[in-house]
């Protein structure tokens, strides 16, 4: 009887842990569901022609805990450092814009940058493709890709997470998953986590850059996020720009250079202040 009770206890504990760390991530699911809205798709104009010739970054593959592999774009720091920035792409996928931003961060801050690929080597060039790829992301697979990235960076890595749009929401989820390894989370107009109990597990500060003209990640959504972070006892700094969603992407027709430059400068200050 004692053995049976012990087995039941182990099973219940295992089920609870996996339920908390596995498939159900309402924030990312809610963002993916926005793809069904014509208004949301209209906010994402087809990207302008944009190519980037990498100077130091390279495409790599790395192993995941489930035995599969994942794709990423890695840029190593010029001088050895334990600091990494874990980058997560927009809803377009791991394209040249993301690679450019990754190399720029590596060069500016002398950090390693690992831009992971939650689309498994698929890059969208129009909204229809982007919706398809975004909504096909399996949360278990995405979490495995992120766990594998932490394994690849190593237990001594000191990590910042960064993402835009689709990747903005996943930046926060990656920070939650990374625990004490994460020194800061940077979000650009991504869907916030609304569960205060989940936010209580966050072990880093958050900085968020949002657009006042965003019709989905609205100022109200941002305000609720700030309130939830306060309720969770966590620190968040928010900047809102008089711009449209995806204002930081130079290949976006609604690109706002002034807003992007200001956000990038504040992003660098945030990271540097947490690099010891």
* Residue 51: per-residue pLDDT: 83
Q: Under DSSP, is residue 206 helix (H, G, I), strand (E, B) or coil?
A: strand
Contact 55, 196 (CB under 8 A): no
* Residue 120: per-residue pLDDT: 98
Average pLDDT of the chain? 91
183's enclosing H/E stretch is strand 182-188
* pLDDT tens readout for residues 149-176: 999 999 999 999 999 999 999 999 999 9
Q: Where are the domains of the chain?
A: 23-273
* pLDDT tens readout for residues 76-116: 999 999 999 999 999 999 999 999 999 999 999 999 999 99
Answer whether residue 5 shows pLDDT above 50: no
Tokens at residue 93, please?
A: 């996928």
* Residue 39: per-residue pLDDT: 80
* Residue 24: per-residue pLDDT: 67
Answer whether residue 236 shows pLDDT above 90: yes
* Residue 38: per-residue pLDDT: 82
What does each C-alpha distance from 218 to 158, 214, 215 come to in angstroms? 32, 5, 6
* Residue 107: per-residue pLDDT: 96
* pLDDT tens readout for residues 15-65: 443 434 445 699 999 999 989 988 888 888 888 888 888 888 999 999 999
Alpha helices (H) along the chain: 2-21, 26-33, 38-43, 96-109, 127-135, 139-153, 166-178, 196-199, 219-232, 257-273
Answer whether residue 220 shows pLDDT above 90: yes
Architecture of domain 23-273: 3-Layer(aba) Sandwich (3.40)
* Residue 23: per-residue pLDDT: 56
Bigger pLDDT: 256 vs 24: 256
* pLDDT tens readout for residues 109-150: 999 999 999 999 999 999 999 999 999 999 999 999 999 999
Query: Following DSSP, what letter does each residue of 5-45 receive, concatenated?
Result: HHHHHHHHHHHHHHHHHSS--HHHHHHHHGGG-HHHHHHSP
* Residue 54: per-residue pLDDT: 84
């Amino acid at each position: 009887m004692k053995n049976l009770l012990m087995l039941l206890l182990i099973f219940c504990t295992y089920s609870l842990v996996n339920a908390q760390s596995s498939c159900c991530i309402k924030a990312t699911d809610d963002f993916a569901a926005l793809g069904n809205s014509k208004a949301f798709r209209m906010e994402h104009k087809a990207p302008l022609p944009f190519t980037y010739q990498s100077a130091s970054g390279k495409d790599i593959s790395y192993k995941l805990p489930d035995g599969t592999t994942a794709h990423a774009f890695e840029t190593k720091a010029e001088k050895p450092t334990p600091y990494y920035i874990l980058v997560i792409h927009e809803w377009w996928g791991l394209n040249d814009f993301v690679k450019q931003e990754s190399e720029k961060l590596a060069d500016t801050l002398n950090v390693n940058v690992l831009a992971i690929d939650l689309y498994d080597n698929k890059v969208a060039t129009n909204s229809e493709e982007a919706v398809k790829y975004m909504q096909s992301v399996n949360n278990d697979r995405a979490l495995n890709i992120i766990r594998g990235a932490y394994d690849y960076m190593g237990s001594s890595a000191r990590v910042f997470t960064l993402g835009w749009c689709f990747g903005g929401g996943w930046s926060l989820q990656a920070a939650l998953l990374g625990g004490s390894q994460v020194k800061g989370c940077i979000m650009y107009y991504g869907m916030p986590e609304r569960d205060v109990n989940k936010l209580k597990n966050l072990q880093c500060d958050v900085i968020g850059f949002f657009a006042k003209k965003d019709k989905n990640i609205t100022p109200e959504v941002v305000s609720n996020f700030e309130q939830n972070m306060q309720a969770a006892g966590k620190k968040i700094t928010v900047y809102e720009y008089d711009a449209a969603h995806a204002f930081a992407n130079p290949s976006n027709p609604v690109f706002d250079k002034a807003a992007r430059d200001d956000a990038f400068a504040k992003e660098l200050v945030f990271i540097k202040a947490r690099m010891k």
